[in-house]
Structure 1
């Protein structure tokens, strides 16, 4: 022990022990919260908002009913929590996928190849069972929660669209595209590679083959390039 150092007294020891004991409790509380949210997602997806109940969610999560109220409040707040959480997760996945979005290209063929490489990664953020379930719930409950769509967009898709608009603007500045409104072009790009999948899959209720998804993505990229390729 060097000069000036002192050993901790009894109070320091008790504080350290309390801190060690507190960490598992916090971790356990977080795990329980996640279990409730996962169970709520399954119940709401299966039963719909109207039929779903806190009793069902408690049984699915394996917790007591008061535990749900203590952690997350009532049914309405629970629904909002899972929708917002899903929006943030989707937004994070989209931003990760956009990391591979091209910043430059040797020519038009190289740009098309680069867009065809990144587009399936973006589509994958939407075209999965959990994402479809959340989209169906959002549309079904839009009257009950009229503010939720805007909140979800701001917390998830909106951030990804902003990032995509920035990348498209860079391509335009480099002369690869002619884009007067990058924000609008970003929305159009996502719509072109994803919108048709909703109808083909019956909102996720019918499995699509890889060939079907590839055809939609390729047509979307080619349509986008025809609209914005330099004249």
Structure 2
């Protein structure tokens, strides 16, 4: 009997977690589509497939929905980008870094240019006056986490003699700027082309 109670409780907990995630996913989709001011909780409930009172049972108000929906999406995008950077961990110390750096550059440009990533940046900036701390937290969970991880990987390549001695934080900033700059100026730029050019310029500066 104890096992049945535990299992039922587990199902209840999982169901609540799944409903909360559905609400946050629905909120993010509606906010991205309509913006903060034009979004109503009823529309979020419809998007999530739940009743409006269910939304309020998980998050108290529209402001809470906005904050958490954007932050959860930022965490997801940051994790995807970190997984791309981690591919550099497997680079043999005696290998040419061009191919793995190009692969990572390609993965990051695709992650940065994905609709959800663009929406997170737009939502964090669009309401910066009302949620001044949200843009900071989004930056911490995406750009700064990725820069830190990339700096660590570049430092290892430099120590192995595959890159010139450098400040890895600065090198990471340069590499990321070469990727994000073209995407800001030319949103329709081909990610693979951006990645190839960024890697070429980076290695001209930091390659051996």
Please give the TM-score of this superposition, normalised by the length of structure 2: 0.90
How far apart, CA to CA, are the structure 1 residues paired with 2:173 and 2:59?
34
Is the helix fraction higher in 1 or 2? 2
The residue number in structure 2 matching 1:199 is 185
1:64 aligns with 2:51: yes
CA contact (8 A) 1:194 1:217 kept: no
SS where residue 147 of structure 2 aligns?
A: helix
Q: CA RMSD in A?
A: 1.9
1:165 aligns with 2:143: no
CA contact (8 A) 1:104 1:174 kept: no
Instruction: Name stretches of at least 5 consecutive residues in structure 1 with no aligned partner.
Output: 1-12
Moved over 6 A (4+): none
Please give the TM-score of this superposition, normalised by the length of structure 1: 0.82
How far apart, CA to CA, are the structure 1 residues paired with 2:124 and 2:42?
22
How far apart, CA to CA, are the structure 1 residues paired with 2:128 and 2:181?
19
CA contact (8 A) 1:91 1:156 kept: yes
- How many residues are paired up? 207
Following superposition, the deviation at residue 51 of structure 1 comes to 0.8
1:129 aligns with 2:115: yes
1:20 aligns with 2:7: yes
Aligned with 1:77 (options 53, 58, 64):
64
How far apart, CA to CA, are the structure 2 residues paired with 1:135 and 1:159?
15
Following superposition, the deviation at residue 179 of structure 1 comes to 4.3
Instruction: Name stretches of at least 5 consecutive residues in structure 2 with no aligned partner.
Output: none
Aligned with 1:145 (options 131, 138, 149):
131
User: Computing the radius of gyration over CA atoms, which structure comes out larger, 1 or 2?
Assistant: 1
The residue number in structure 2 matching 1:112 is 98
Q: Which has the higher contact order (CA 8 A, sep 6+)?
A: 2
